[in-house]
Chain A
Amino acid sequence: MFKEDRDTPRFQWKDLGDIEAGRPNLGSTTSVAVYRLMQYTLRDILIARYDPDTASEILREAGKLAGTEFCRNILKKDLDFNGFFADLQSQLKVFGVGIMRMEKSDLAGLEFVMTVSEDLDCSGLPLFEETVCEYDEGFIAGVLTVYTGKEFLVREIDCWASGERTCRFTARAIDREAA
């Protein structure tokens, strides 16, 4: 199932399995270091195999798939935007992903500026003078796309790894209905 040849993603939330049943002693959480070990070794190999841009694009697409499934399975999509955002904030905290805050929201134009502090991917990283949260970009785009039905372009404009200490993302809907 995981290794079938395919052209389009087919991952679904249920593919995560019954974690509690599978880990009765170790539990359903792990350390941030282990998550980052996976993320940054994978990035390293992707860059070595392809190139930095391709690696970023792959991570962004994977993040979008994750955000899509997260929104479909975890978030309350029938709330108004503020209610939905509060639920998203709360769940990102529950899952230890980060502390998300909204700085600007234009509901008519579907444009947002939001920050994530204590970010799972990057907070505490050594300074690289570059943004590294492409997975987060995709994740936020996936969440917003499921909720609004519109495709979103999300870009990280400030990142812990670039020395900004808070990750800041801009998100805007692009003129395309979600597939």
Chain B
Amino acid sequence: MNERDSHLLRELAQEVERVARGDFSPVRLSTVPSPEVAALADEISMLSDSLAETREFIFALSQGRLDVDPPPRNRLIAPFKQLQANLRHLTWQTQQIAAGDLNQRVDFMGEFSVAFNSLIQSLLEKRLAEEKLRYLSNHDPLTDLYNRGYFTEELERVERGRRFPVSIMMADLDGLKGVNDTLGHAAGDRLIRQAAQLIRHAVRGDDVVARMGGDEFAVILPNTDADTASKVCDRIRKGEAAFNLESSSYVIGISIGIDTVDRGGSLTEALKRADENMYREKFARKKKQESAGRPDS
């Protein structure tokens, strides 16, 4: 090695030291190098460029700028590319969670995954608890039908809507007291559940069937005129007859009253009229039973 190359190698050593300090400016030599030293200088320049790209990318990553794409074909940063891909996926997952998808789980970030998944699990449990609470606040626990509160809200909502004519049905179980007194309250509860099921099966899926309390049920039938409501009543009667044919312990008797209103009519008034119609029918059924010689249970 001649004196000039020795000098240039000392210069290159200083350049490497400069790069190691984080100064990535181009390698400059004080004189024209031999081909061997020039090749070494080129390699150091390439390494310096790669390190400069690497630093820029890692700096962006450290600031959370995930939109900065990694420099292509730079092999120094492979683990950081993997980290960026993971963080991008995590960002996507978080966006999905924010949109309501609580099925996202992280399985690639060590301890963070455990914490993240616990957070999602907590959110899921909170959502389930809220849904349960909402269900309980709207439903009757014995029959799973809607309760009076929900029925009243729906009555107002349907009244404001466009699905007229609307028929309102009131239904009341005959003889519940007798079943409770003779067979016990468990049998009375079964009777209520069976009557609820019978009414539920006679109407459409989006009709609102509620247990108003005790042995009293009410149904909102949107887009239903009086004739169609009468057919619903017939279906309940058929169900009632079929049950009574099979049942050996007690019979189901349901008194029903219906009222129908066109657009502009008050559903609260319709409910009152349906209730009055139901009591008229109950009275008539009682009279009929008495005249047939059957004791009213």
Contacts and interface: CB of A to CB of B under 8 A. Distances in A.
A164 B81 contact: yes
Interface stretch (A4-12, A18-26, A96-104): A96-104
B96 A165 contact: no
B75 interface: yes
Nearest to B91: A103
B88 A103 contact: yes
Nearest to B87: A103
B75 A101 contact: no
Interface SS of chain B: helix
A129 interface: yes
Residue in B74, B78, B92, B96 with the greatest tally of chain A CB atoms within 10 Å: B92
Interface in B75-90: 75, 78-79, 81-82, 85-86, 88-89
A83 B103 contact: yes
B238 to A, nearest CB: 36
Nearest to B95: A105
Given A103-B92, A162-B73, A163-B75, A82 B85 contact: no
Given A101-B85, A103-B85, A117-B85, A163 B92 contact: no
A101 B86 CA distance: 8
Interface residues of A, number: 20
Given A165-B78, A166-B81, A166-B82, A104 B73 contact: no
Contacts of B78: 164-165
A146 B224 CA distance: 42
A64 interface: no
Nearest to A99: B108
A164 B93 CA distance: 23
Given A83-B103, A86-B103, A163-B75, A115 B85 contact: yes
B42 interface: no
Interface string B97-113: 00001011000100000
A168 interface: yes
Interface in B40-75: 70, 72-75
A165 B82 contact: yes
B101 A104 contact: no
B105 to A, nearest CB: 8
B82 A82 contact: no
A168 B70 CA distance: 12
Nearest to A101: B89
A179 B93 CA distance: 32
Given A82-B101, A86-B103, A103-B92, A165 B73 contact: no
16 contacts: A82-B96, A86-B103, A86-B104, A99-B108, A102-B89, A102-B92, A103-B88, A103-B89, A103-B91, A104-B88, A163-B72, A163-B73, A164-B78, A164-B81, A165-B82, A166-B81
Interface of A: 82-83, 86, 99, 101-105, 115, 117, 127, 129, 158, 162-166, 168
Interface of B: 70, 72-75, 78-79, 81-82, 85-86, 88-89, 91-93, 96, 101, 103-104, 108
